[in-house]
Amino acid sequence: MPSSVTTPTTATRPATPGPGPMTEERLFMTEERLLAFFDACSAGDPDAIAAFFTADAVYLGSRGPADDGVVFEGREAVRAGMAAFLGGYADASYRDVDVRVGGSWGLATWTFHGTPHGGVPSSYRGVDVLAFEGDLIRRKDAFRKERSEPAGGDGSGSVGGDGSGPGVRPR
């Protein structure tokens, strides 16, 4: 699907990610470029999304069978994973995105909104912890809030009978 997001290309940035002169413009990720990454995600363009990652990137999804969630290793695996995730939605977007970049590390908070094919709209909040190599994402570790009914089901958030704390239900 064509993207309405333009991946930045300049005289100092190769048209495709990879080797190229590490000029001052390419030395660091910027908040503007990180916001452009989330624009690519909202546009649903897996190729544009993948262009923001290093060839050997690691993306740790917020959900999955292991402690680290689903792990995608390499730019092509990230592209395929994002294509599969976004392909499950009739519409999907990241809103209320707030980013911070400090050297080779970054943090992004966001709210994902989406309607699964044949489903009802939903949303959840999340945070990404990111590591950068130059102006590309080397590692993305995603976390998200999960909604659940407070203990007791009365909306009070009272401590469960097992003393497990507010909003925690014993299994």
User: 105-116 and 136-144 as β-strands: parallel, antiparallel, unpaired?
Assistant: unpaired
Checking if the pLDDT of 40 tops 70, the result is yes
CB 38 within 8 A of CB 52: no
pLDDT digits (tens, 9 = 90+) for 108-161: 999 999 999 999 999 999 999 999 999 999 999 999 998 887 665 555 444 444
pLDDT digits (tens, 9 = 90+) for 1-35: 443 443 333 333 333 444 445 555 567 999 999 99
Q: Domain residues of the chain, as ranges?
A: 27-148
CATH code linked to domain 27-148: 3.10.450.50
Task: Quote the CA–CA distance of 38 and 82 in Å, as a whole number.
Answer: 12
Task: Quote the CA–CA distance of 143 and 74 in Å, as a whole number.
Answer: 20
pTM check: above 0.85 = no
Q: Work out the average pLDDT over 43-59.
A: 97
Q: Work out the average pLDDT over 58-82.
A: 94
